[in-house]
Structure 1
């Protein structure tokens, strides 16, 4: 209750603070992200426009040779591959250099303009110490792209040309096209303009982004033209950046996960150059100010929660202290301790509840004492009644045996049986306690056996196998004799041959095992199942006719019922039998035995 009250107070404080902080953070971050996206989209679009302007100038330079008759004449002269290794004259070199140099004037972004003749000779604005004079463009990786363009200009992504004699090869991107005869459309050569990456750097130097991020320039094939790694991204992430830049060929703004971090991506696509400029802005740096605001809001919220939590703890303690005391007393009452009372400190609802609790516990304590005494008396009476049920049943069977001997004229044996019967009656009637020593129970069983041996003579052999240390232990009264009786009447009965009954008492772990076993006719599976089922049926359920037909079943049920009353689930009465192989009854009871209700000892 105290924790719930404290939780309610804290929720009342935390909920409005959380809502206010969340809404403020969301509005501010959304506004920042939207403003940055709009501004960055304009800048990225401007970058692409400036790049298109530069590429259009390069495209114009690439077409100029086809409008210069002298250039065409020289290329026409050296267009045949059969003229390999043939150098142009000095005059021809000067004319070509003059034409090429006019295109590179005041253009530091151009690394070189190269015109490849058909025989492999390369006319260039660079000298022989910088570039190879003879080259076969068809062996270059970029040639297939130029050839497929079929005379149109094409843009070659970043690469390292093999014709440069540089010790440290640099990356360039190029504008190239085939040079063809205007009239016959015959290919005379190829022009290639290599551009430095300073083209992009120069454009970017004129663009001022508000935030720090990365920029990638790729074409529709995701081929790289330029990469500027910003903070938040480690180097050598071209493949990941290029894959992330594979956005639709249109201007878009979206969020993206890259390298385990979130980025805002702004892209702009040029239909003219087929180049897509993508700006990657780390949300972490973009929302730096927003996160600072969030941190301040959280600190204020934590301070308010601490203050509110202290007040809530104090008031919840004052409110829940009497309830906690009442709850502890209730737990003790639940465990059966009814001698409890709660101190009433106030006159409010909690005080009234405590007063009513004290009165209720007092009344329950009185009722429990009354019910407990009544229950003990009822249990004692039930045990005595069950025990006494054995007496008339046993007397009936014994008198029947005496009657049979009297009819046969065996008066001495009748006298012995009557004497033994009297001794047994004194034991069964004179003892109203439920527990006796195992020694006493065995003496009574031996007296009963002597009666039966007078009747059956040598046909009946009974063997006792008892561990001596078990003799002082207490066992329920009259549990061995009924099992011996059952073994005699239903194991031997009118069978003419001799039979043996074994009585065993052993200790197994903390239990006492009493077994009565015979080698009589046994039982079929159906009879065994019926007997096992009947052991779970109360004795009172059986009718008088059933008891006459199944007297041994009544006795065994009587034993089972008495053991259940005395030991609950701690006992076991097991029957095992097979037809022609005898029957065994085993009782398992705990050691040391539990205290039970009894009327004294003799």
Structure 2
């Protein structure tokens, strides 16, 4: 029913568009505004009529390719029409205008305030005379749509447009199911069209329509002349018309019987085919399956052949079924999984040892250099200010000896770095200043312990040897699920060749036997082991401007900040 409903809706929409085109065309309005002043047969009036008819023909060709009548009745009595199958359109128009003016529905429309109306069904003959007026042997049923025409600007009433669509055209549009009958009822439950004998729909028309067709659409069983039908109906939203489809129930069951027979035959053929396939699998699958088991059993893992392993013996013997093959393969897979688990465990142990070795490599380095600073500061400055240095040393030792914790808050790392700079300034005569810019939300962010102090130490030893007023800035930012800690100095920078070598060492994990190699490479490897290959150190440097080291951590908090300078 949906396809027929869409087709009928398309037709009614085209009729409305065709009628509206004449009502909104300024040229038609202007021509209808001209009065012929009683000169019916004047050349001016003929030209006016011809212009309107040409416009109607243009619109008719755009919207329609079915036989139809398109008529305009002006208020001055003039008839303008485009007709199909009418021999004398002038005579037809005159008779049509006289006959339509005698119709009750026309007078009712003219007296109402309606802009348009459907008249369905509407019957008149090829002479233009409506049903009920004299002898009409050639009456034809139409779906008629009428609309008032008004001046585009002044809204002056100019006439009525009639668009008549022969109901026989519906046979080309409404296609019922095979062996079914289809009918169209108007909103008053009157039969408009039926593709078979209209008597078939008599019982469900005027007397029973409201009782049977209660819903917007649906279906039910109904018996006519001792024959049972399945009735399917739908109501068109735009017009209120109903499409009713009557399918004989025996036709429906006939299709089901054929389907049942076809499905039964297909199932038998499938069962036979499945039996043949199963037999072929049983005969031909076992041979390659045995070869596969034999191949797996001969795999050498760590110098051990699977067939020689306790609990897997006998796996090389031939099997005679898929169940036995599954059992043998499962035994071998269990052993392979056992070896894999051992390999993974061994890898984790090696990784943990490597991690601890890297951590152990960092801590003695810090303590050794701190003690040297205190020694030379005492020799140069005397014992008066040693207490301040010992306080700073205490901060370093407190963090160094706390070996049980792998991570700590970022503020503690900054505190350690500042303590180291304070100690170092006794030897450098306060030439180094350190600044920290860390948002409050990141002060407790967990980082690898002792990652910051070696980077600050490298900045002092390798970048500020001859700098009078050294500055070190520590900054922390969040971006794209990461936290970037930046260590920037105003030192002498790194030459491009040396920087390339350092970056190469970070990439291939080569260790140089100097302070830079120990600090940068160890921290870089430590972070990659702990967090993954996407994290670690990134270095930028320009000669005589300074060096910037980015330390990238994963942001487990998941907060993003768009504005940042971390790459």
Sort the TM-score into its range (normalised by shorter chain): 0.3 to 0.5
Which has the larger share of helix?
A: 1
What TM-score results when the alignment is normalised by the length of structure 2?
A: 0.42
What TM-score results when the alignment is normalised by the length of structure 1?
A: 0.40
Greater C-alpha radius of gyration: 1
